[in-house]
Amino acid sequence: MWDSNRHVGFPTNREPVDFNKYCRTVENFPKKNISFKDITPLLLDPWAFNLAIRTMSWKYINQVDAIVCIEARGFLIGAPMAYELNCGLIPIRKKGKLPGKTCKATYELEYGTDTLEVHEDAIKSGQRILIVDDVLATGGTAQAVVNLVRELKGDVIGCCFLGELESLKGRAKLDVLVYSLIKFQGEDTK
C-alpha cells in the first residue's frame, strides 16, 4: 500500500518538467544512420531521475501487485518504481539467465529472433501486472512480454516507459494501455 510519509520532497507547485532536456542523441550508435536516444544523463541527475520515477509511479498508485521489468535497462526503471509503489518486482531475462523453471517468449527482431524468460511461478493468476521498460521502440519486445504475462494468467494493466520513439509507432503494436514520460521525435531512432 502507498505510504505518503515515506515520500518527501516531491515538487507539487513547479512548472511541468521537460525530461527531454535530460536526454541526449548519439549519432551513428550502435551503428551507422542510427540516432540513439541516451537516457544516461537523466539517470545521472538525482533530482530528474527521482522526479521521473515518482511521476511515472504516481499514475499507478494502488493499481499494481507487481512490476514486470525487461532486461537490462528496464531494471533501472522498474526497480525504483516497484519500491515507490511498494509492490513486487519480476525480472524478465534473456534466455538462459534464470535458474528455475521458466516460461519463454520468442519474438521477431529486425534480423532474426530473440527469446525472453520468466520464472513460471513468478506471476499468480489474476495478479495486476505493470510492464516497465526504458524506451518503447517498435513494440515487439513489449508485446512479447504482454503475451508471456497473459500466458501465466497475469492481468496486464498496462505498459510504462521512460521514453517512446514515436516515429517507430510501437504503441500501435501493443493491445494494452501505454504511458511514456518522454516522447522522442525523429527518424531512424533507437
Catalytic positions, written as ranges: 73, 110
**Count of other CB atoms within 10 angstroms of residue 158:** 19
Q: How far apart are CA 26 and CA 36, in angstroms?
A: 5
Residue 81 in 3-state DSSP? Answer: helix
Kindly state the cell numbers that stand for 150: 497473459
> Residue 61 contacts by C-beta under 8 Å, 6 or more apart in sequence?
2, 85
